Amino acid sequence: MFTEQFNQEFEAIRGQLKSYILRITASVADTEDLVQDTYLKGVEKLDSFREESSLKTWIFTIASNLAKDTLRAKKRWTENVTDICKEAAMSNQAFFQEAMHIRMTSPQGQFEIREHIAFCFTCISKSLPLEQQICLLLKEVYEFKVHEIAQIIATTEAMVKYYLHTGRSKMVQIFEGRCALINKEGVCHQCSELNGIFNPKQKLQEALVKIEMAKEAQKADREHLFNLRMQVVRGIDPFESDAAALQLHHLEHNRVVMERYLEKNAE
């Protein structure tokens, strides 16, 4: 009977679990493997579940541990990941050809600025120490409570609060200096640039008017703007949106570029 309950809960949260693992690993292939491994390990360890947490929290604990094991030997991405990957993309004709093919043929090939905001968060959050990234995702995107996060990453609530404070502060600082949607002097204009490439007939202002973060950029403080950014991320399933195929293609490109960049610069 309990196995049936586990299966029902796993299926109910599978979408959240997939997007969570993707945002940690930036790899579709790793995500598919880890979701399957999480299910198999959950079934294997089901007798050890003592109902000291919710079943959802327990499943996310398994997934988080597996993801950390996968990433343990990998280096953090750099804060300027979008600059590095943009430079690599500009010299990669095959990348743009494939992107345009997806744009023209896939039902999930649209370019949406909202989706790219979430995509950008995924890439930049990988510059955080892993514990900070995980805590930030669990709290701000998947809306776990602090005590649940403490159970998931096996630490104290005080440490979770520390990770959340430092991780959030760092991300606010990065976006303040980079994102031109928030700070008109920000160095990164990729949302508007890519919108011009993939949606040449759409006026940028028409796209921005639909995004509360962009509308409030001139009057809100940066903490509130970060909260609005998190609303955007929470509202998007990177596997199911109308822009999923295009953005996943971009994410795979960024992952490959960053792994090569980090390996080269470690020599």
Min mean pLDDT across 69-73, 147-151, 263-267 is at 263-267
Element (H or E) spanning 134, and its range? helix 130-136
Q: Which residue has the tokens 């300027």?
A: 80
SS3 79: coil
Which pTM does this prediction carry? 0.94
Mean pLDDT, all residues of the chain: 93
The tally of CA atoms less than 13 A away on the side-chain side of residue 61 is 19
Neighbours of 76 (CB within 10 A): 15
Q: How far is the C-alpha of 147 from the C-alpha of 135, rounded, in Å?
A: 11
Spatial contact of 181 and 214, defined as CB atoms under 8 Å apart: yes
The β-bridge partners of 179 are: 188
Which stretch, 68-82, 154-168, 170-184, 185-199, has highest mean pLDDT?
154-168
List the domains of the chain with CATH numbers.
1-73 (1.10.1740.10), 75-266 (no CATH)
267 pLDDT tier (thresholds 50, 70, 90): low
- For the chain, the farthest-separated pair of C-alpha atoms sits apart, in whole angstroms, at 58
Planar angle of CA 159, 160, 166, nearest 5 degrees:
85
The β-bridge partners of 188 are: 179
**Mean pLDDT over residues 74-103, rounded?**
94
